[in-house]
Amino acid sequence: MARMLAEKVIVVTGGTKGLGRATAAAAGREGARVVVGGRDEQAGRETVEEIRRSGSEAFFVRGDLRRVADCEALIAAAATHFGRLDGLVNYAGILPASPLTETTEDFFDSVFDLNFKAAFFCCRFAVSAMLKTGGGSIVNVGSTHAYGGDYDRAAYACSKGALLTLTKHIAINYARRHIRANWLTMGWVATPGELDHRRSEGRDLRWLEEVAAKVMPMGRLQTCEDNVPGILYLLSDQSSQVTGVELHVSGGYFPRGSVE
């Protein structure tokens, strides 16, 4: 049986941890040639080795995507090494907490520089590469917070809202050039960043799971494994007529807001 992404060249930002790593490994199992972007060289090498064990080609590009030059270098490395670019998954990001009334300029800039600016310029260079070889697929990993956001996620929510607008912009303006852009709403996942934040509050995974059982309509946290199939589908030719969509893998949950 043919693998879903056979011979496609896929770049995954933030591909060394969490959903990014799970996506990169799964893309490799589905036959893609994968370029893993990130800052952690050890984790990058481990991810690449996992992909290679599945029989696919892969390599790691270290960079800080807050720098536009590193965004360009990541996309150029894939296009130069493999001769084309078929897919981009923008996962790199941070999830720091601060309510609107306490958000500083430095905090705002740190969130937007990675969550939106980096994705914007990775898309900019990816679209340019895809225009040369007949098209491709971009998947931007979003969040339920893009639709308003919790009380303590003001800048984060706005950064994801901007990313959703970028997704729609690419979908509308590049469909005739066979470049697709779609959005995956990632639900409440116990990512390393989420766990670090909860530990700073004196909480742990068990607390997360207990709260999720009460507030999530489908009764539990989501996992990376819940999200990966949707990303693979959006990267694949099976979704060749799908662009500009919002695929929600959130267990039916959307933040309702709160006052503290």
Report which residue type is found at 225.
E
- Return the CA Rg of the chain: 18
Strand partners, 34: 10, 58
Nearest to 237 by CA among 119, 110, 150, 134: 134
Coil/strand/helix, residue 145: helix
Token pair listed for 184: 């995956």
Query: 197: which residues sit within 8 A by CB, 6+ positions away?
Result: 95, 96, 97
Which pairing describes strands 33-38 and 87-90: parallel, antiparallel, or unpaired? Answer: unpaired
Number of alpha helices (DSSP H) and beta strands (DSSP E) in the chain: 9, 7
Query: Element (H or E) spanning 185, and its range?
Result: strand 179-186
Do 48 and 11 meet the contact criterion of CB atoms below 8 Å apart?
no
Closest CA to 231 of 25, 16, 57, 2: 25
Tokens of 80: 């130069």
d(CA 120, CA 101) in angstroms, rounded, equals 27
Structure tokens at 27: 């893309």
Structure tokens of 25?
Answer: 């490994």
Is residue 91 flagged as an active site residue? no
Per the residue annotation, which of 91, 156, 174, 253 is the catalytic one? 156
The residue type of 30 is: E
Tokens read off for 105 = 């300029």
Active-site amino acid positions = 156
